[in-house]
Amino acid sequence: MNRRDFLKGLVGTSYVVLSGSSVLAPLNALAASGADASDGWLTTGSHMGAFKMKRKNGVISEVKPFDTDMYPTDMINGIKGLVYNPSRVRYPMVRLDFLLKGHQSDTTQRGDFRFVRVTWDKALGLFKDSLDLIQTKYGPSGLHAGQTGWRATGQLHSSTSHMQRAVGMHGNFVKKIGDYSTGAGQTILPYILGSTEVYAQGTSWSLILEHSKTIILWSNDPYKNLQVGWNAETHESYAYLAQLKEKVAKGEIRVISIDPVVTKTQQYLGCEQLYINPQTDVALMLGIAHEMVDKNLHDNAFIEGYSLGFDQFLPYIKGETDGVEKTPEWAAEITGVSAEIIRDLAKVMTKDRTQMLMGWCIQRQQHGEQPYWMAAVLATMIGQIGLPGGGISYGHHYSSIGVPSSGAAAPGAFPRNLDDGQKPIFDSTDFKGASNTIPVARWIDSILEPGKTIDSNGSKVTYPDIKMMVFSGNNPWNHHQDRNRMKKAFHKLECIVSIDMNWTATCRFSDIVLPACTTFERNDIDIYGAYANRGLLAMQKMVEPLFESLSDFEIFTRFAALLGKEKEYTRGMTEHDWLVKLYNDCKAANAGKFEMPEFEEFWKAGYVYFGEGEPWVRHAAFRDDPEINPLGTPSGLIEIFSRKIAHYEYDDCPGHPTWMEKAERSHGGPGSDKHPIWLQSCHPDKRLHSQMCESEEYRETYTVQGREPVYLNPEDAKKRGIKSGDVVRVFNDRGQLLAGAVVSDKFPKGVIRIQEGAWYGPVGKDGSKEGGAEIGAICSYGDPNTLTLDIGTSKLAQACSAYTCLVDYEKYQGKVPAVSSFSGPVEIAL
Ligand SMILES: Nc1nc2c(c(=O)[nH]1)N[C@H]1C(S)=C(S)[C@@H](COP(=O)(O)OP(=O)(O)OC[C@H]3O[C@@H](n4cnc5c(=O)[nH]c(N)nc54)[C@H](O)[C@@H]3O)O[C@H]1N2
Ligand SMILES: Nc1nc2c(c(=O)[nH]1)N[C@H]1C(S)=C(S)[C@@H](COP(=O)(O)OP(=O)(O)OC[C@H]3O[C@@H](n4cnc5c(=O)[nH]c(N)nc54)[C@H](O)[C@@H]3O)O[C@H]1N2
Ligand SMILES: [Mo]
C-alpha cells in the first residue's frame, strides 16, 4: 500500500478520544521510574540564573541559587515545575486531519487541538515528506524556518540552530531580520548613533553611581527585567541597584521614573515617578527641548562639535515648518505632564550630570523609532554623551549591561548554518521574485498578502508565498500580535512543524509536534553573566529526558540521518565530543590571558571563573576625539537630522524626530471614544515570556480564579462594578479574553496591564477546547496578544507595535469556561 492509499484508508475510520487520565498521568511517578545511582547536588544554568539542583531517586527534589548569586530571582521557585508539569509534550503527535489528509487537510480545523500519537520515525518521516513536497512544488520561498526566540541557554543545544542547520541541509528557506525586543530601536539608532546601542555594553554602574546626580528611567523597569538574561544571569546588577537605593534615600542621586505606571523599580528605589499619558513620550521630549532652547540651557559647543543637523531640527521645535510650536504647553496638552514640570525637567536634566536610561517598551509601539531618536537628540543637547554618569543608554535593564565585561573570549556554539562546502539537497535559491528575508514581525502579513511589496529600512521587501513553517525555541502564538488574524493566516498554510517541550499554543496550532527535552535533561555549557561574561557554567544533566522527549541535538541528528546527512550534521561528533570541543576551543582562545582547567576538572567543579572586568564609559572614545573615533553614522557624528532617512521620503519616519499621532491612543487620542483603555502587555515579573507559565504551583502564586491577572485602576474598575478577584472580559474589535481582576492604585486611569506570555487558551462558545479553532473564540486564560494590533512601527523598521492597543473591559457575566491552556491536546486514537 503506498502512502496515499494508506492515508485514504484512514478517512472515515472511526476514532476515540482518549480519556483525560492518559493525558494527565501522574508525572512524578513517571519521573521516579528513572531512579539513578548518581544522586546529589549538581550545577546548571538558565536565563533565570545559575542554580544548584538536588537529584534524589532520579528526580529533581530541590533547587537553590548558585553560591555566587546574591540576588536570585523569585522564579527559582518555579524551576522544578518546568520539568514536571502536565503541559509537557510526551511523544511525537500529529494533528488528526493532517494525519488523515496531509497537505490537503482542512486547515480551519487547526487549533481544534485534536492530535494523534505517532512514533518518532513516523513523525520525522512526515516532516521530511512535507519539506520534499514544499521544495518541489514551491521552492524555498514556500518555507519559513527563520523565526527565533528565547530558547533555553546553552552553547550546544541552541534549539533554533539545530533546527535551522538540519532543515537547511534539506533546502533553503525564508529568514527574518530584527527581533521583537528592539526592532525599531536597533534599526533607527545606527543612523543616529552609529550602532544598534540596544545590544552594546554600557557605561559601568559603578561610574554611574559615582558621577550621576540625576538618573532618568524612561519607560524602564530594571528591577523587574534584570531577573532574566540572554545567558545565565549573575544578578550582579542588583548590587548596584541596592547602592542606588541608598543614594536615593540620602538624596545623593535623584531618580525620576517616567512611566504611566508605578513600576517595581520605582517602588524598590523609592524614587520619584512622573506619570505620562501612554505613547506620548516624543511630545514630552520635544517640550523639554523647546524649553532648553528657550532658556538657552542646551550645550551649543557639544552640538556643534559632535552632531549634525540641529539647525534643520530647530525650525520644527519652533513651529516654523508645521505651524505648531512645541512649547511645554503644547506638550502638556498631549502628555498629561504639566508645563511647569516640563520646564523643570529641562532645568534638572541640564544642571548636573544626568544619565538617561531608556527601556525598550516605548519603541514597541507605532512610530517606535521616534522616542529613541528624540531621546538621543535630548542627550546631545544636554552634552554629556561620553562622560561617566552622563549621556544615554538603551540597555541597562538587560542581561547585565553595565556590569564590566571580564574580557575573556566566550565559547563558540553549535553551528546554525551549513559548513563551508556543504550543500542542501534542494539547492534552489530561486525565491520567485520574493525576498528571502523579511522583517521579523511581518511574517503574518506575508502569509496573508504574498507578492505584496513594502518599504523596509531604505529598500523594498516583497512578501514570499509561505506555505510551511517550522518553529523551534520560540513561541509565535505567544510573541506575535492579533490571534484572530493569525488564525486566518494559518488557514493558508499547508504544514506547520513545532519542536517544544510543552503544549504551547504554537504546538496547538501546528500539524506535527515533536517533544524536545528541557534544558535540565541534557548536558551543556553556558556563559555565566551574559554581557559581564564572568565565566563558564557546566549545565549538568539533572534527570533523563521524560517520556519520549529527546534533546534538540538528538532530534535533528535523527532527522539528518533521514536525509543521509548525519555525519555532515554532527561532523561525526557525539554530544559529549561537542561539549569538549567547545570548551577546549574556548580554553585555547583564552590561553595566556585566562587560565582554564582541563574539561573534566571544569565539569566536576561546575564552573570556571574569569574574574571581574574594568569599569568603562560608553562613547568616551568618541567624545575624546570624534575624528579619530567617529561613530558609525554616515557623517561619523550624531545625526539629529539624517539625510539618509530624509532621502527615503517615508511619511511615517521623516528626516528628524517627529511627533506623530498613533492609530490608537488612549486619553483622548484616536479610537479612545470607542475603546477608552490602553492595554500594556509588559514583560512578566514571574515568567520569561510564556516560559514558566506551565509551572503549575508557581503559576498559582499569582493567578486569579486560575487566570492571568489583569491590573486595573481603582476608579475605572469601580465604574464597571469590578473588584479584585472577579473574572473580567477584556475586548476590542480584534478579540476577547478572560482574566482575573487585580485592582491596584499603581495603575492610572485609562491604563491596564496584562503581562505578555500568558498562555493562549481559546475555547468555543460551548467552552470546548475543540472550539478554540474558531475565529473570535474567547481566550480562557488571558493572553494579551488576543487583542493587540499587528502593524509595523513604520516603513523604516516595520517592527512590532504591540503597545499601540486600545480595549475596554467589563465584569464577565456568563458561565466561566475552564482554562484550556495547560492540559495538553485532545488525544485521539485511530
Ligand atoms: N504583546 C506583546 N507581545 C510581545 C512582547 C510584548 O512586550 N508584548 N514582547 C516581545 C518580545 S520583546 C519577545 S523577546 C518575544 C518573546 O517571544 P518568544 O521568545 O517566542 O517567547 P518564549 O515564550 O520565550 O518562547 C520560547 C519557546 O521556546 C521553547 N524552548 C525553550 N527551550 C527550548 C529548547 O531547548 N528546545 C526547544 N525545541 N524549545 C525550547 C519554550 O518552551 C517556549 O515555548 O515576545 C514578543 N511579544
Ligand atoms: N522578568 C522578566 N524580565 C525580562 C523579560 C521577561 O520576560 N521577564 N524579558 C526580557 C526581554 S526579551 C526584553 S525585550 C526586556 C523588555 O524590556 P522592556 O521592554 O523595557 O520592558 P517592559 O517591562 O515591558 O516595559 C518597561 C516599562 O515601560 C513602560 N511603558 C510602556 N509604554 C510606555 C510609554 O508609552 N511611555 C513610557 N514612558 N513608558 C511606557 C511600562 O509601563 C514598563 O514599566 O525584558 C527582559 N527582561
Ligand atoms: Mo525581547
Edge-first strand order for the sheet with 607-609 is 524-528, 535-539, 607-609
As a whole number of Å, the CA-based R_g of the chain is 27
Mean pLDDT of 41-47: 95
Smallest CA separation from ligand 1 atom 19, residue: 149
Establish whether residue 397 lines the binding site of ligand 2, counting it when its CB lies within 6 angstroms of any ligand atom. Answer: yes
* pLDDT computed for residue 12 by the predictor: 43
* Confidence band of 375 (pLDDT split at 50, 70, 90): very high
Instruction: Name residue 608's amino acid.
Output: V
Q: Which of 248, 218, 188 is nearest to 349 (CA)?
A: 218
Q: What is the tens place of the pLDDT at every residue in 123-164? A: 999 999 999 999 999 999 999 999 999 999 999 999 999 999
* Confidence band of 9 (pLDDT split at 50, 70, 90): very low
User: How many whole angstroms from 500 Cα to the centroid of ligand 3?
Assistant: 19
Ligand nearest to the CA of 230: 2
* Confidence band of 37 (pLDDT split at 50, 70, 90): low
Establish whether residue 217 lines the binding site of ligand 2, counting it when its CB lies within 6 angstroms of any ligand atom. Answer: no
Q: What is the tens place of the pLDDT at every residue in 714-748? A: 999 999 999 999 999 999 999 999 999 999 999 99
Could you please report the per-residue DSSP string of 73-123?
-GGGGGSHHHHS-TTB--S-EEEHHHHHHGGGS-GGGTTS-EEEE--HHHH
Ligand nearest to the CA of 229: 2
Residue 572: burial class (beta carbons within 10 Å; 0-12, 13-18, 19+)? exposed
Query: What domains does the chain contain, in order, with CATH numbers?
Result: 93-180+426-518+547-572 (3.40.50.740), 202-400 (3.40.228.10), 677-827 (2.40.40.20)
Establish whether residue 680 lines the binding site of ligand 2, counting it when its CB lies within 6 angstroms of any ligand atom. Answer: yes
* Confidence band of 562 (pLDDT split at 50, 70, 90): very high
How many Å from the N-terminal Cα to the C-terminal Cα in the chain?
18
- Of ligand 1's atoms, which has the minimum distance to the CA of residue 785? 1
User: How many whole angstroms from 689 Cα to the centroid of ligand 3?
Assistant: 8
* Confidence band of 16 (pLDDT split at 50, 70, 90): low
Which cell is 306 given? 559632535
Cα torsion 183, 476, 759, 53: sign? negative
Establish whether residue 75 lines the binding site of ligand 2, counting it when its CB lies within 6 angstroms of any ligand atom. Answer: no
Helices 339-351, 369-382: inter-axial angle, 10-degree rounding: 50
Asked whether the beta carbons of 367 and 660 are under 8 A apart, the reply is yes
Compute φ and ψ for 710, nearest 5 degrees: -115, 120
Give, for ligand 2, the residue of 225, 272, 372, 401 to mutate: max count of ligand atoms closer than 8 Å to Cβ.
Answer: 225
Task: From residue 79, give the alpha-carbon distance in Å to each of 43, 58, 74, 696.
Answer: 13, 16, 10, 10
Mean pLDDT of 639-648: 98
* pLDDT computed for residue 297 by the predictor: 98
User: What is the rounded CA–CA span in Å between residue 747 and residue 261?
Assistant: 5
- Of ligand 2's atoms, which has the minimum distance to the CA of residue 688? 7
Which cell is 236 given? 550582579
Has residue 20 got a pLDDT over 70?
no
* pLDDT computed for residue 15 by the predictor: 52
- Of ligand 1's atoms, which has the minimum distance to the CA of residue 364? 7
User: How many whole angstroms from 411 Cα to the centroid of ligand 1?
Assistant: 24
Residues with a CB atom less than 6 Å from ligand 1: 149-152, 157, 159, 180-181, 364, 472-475, 478-479, 499-502, 504, 516, 519, 552, 681, 683, 688-691, 756-757, 784-785, 788, 802
Average pLDDT, the chain: 95
Task: From residue 731, give the alpha-carbon distance in Å to each of 127, 327, 811.
Answer: 37, 36, 11
Q: What is the tens place of the pLDDT at every residue in 566-610? A: 999 999 999 999 999 999 999 999 999 999 999 999 999 999 999
Q: What is the tens place of the pLDDT at every residue in 300-343? A: 999 999 999 999 999 999 999 999 999 999 999 999 999 999 99
Phi-psi region of 754 (alpha: psi -120 to 50; beta: other; left: phi over 0): beta
Establish whether residue 804 lines the binding site of ligand 2, counting it when its CB lies within 6 angstroms of any ligand atom. Answer: no
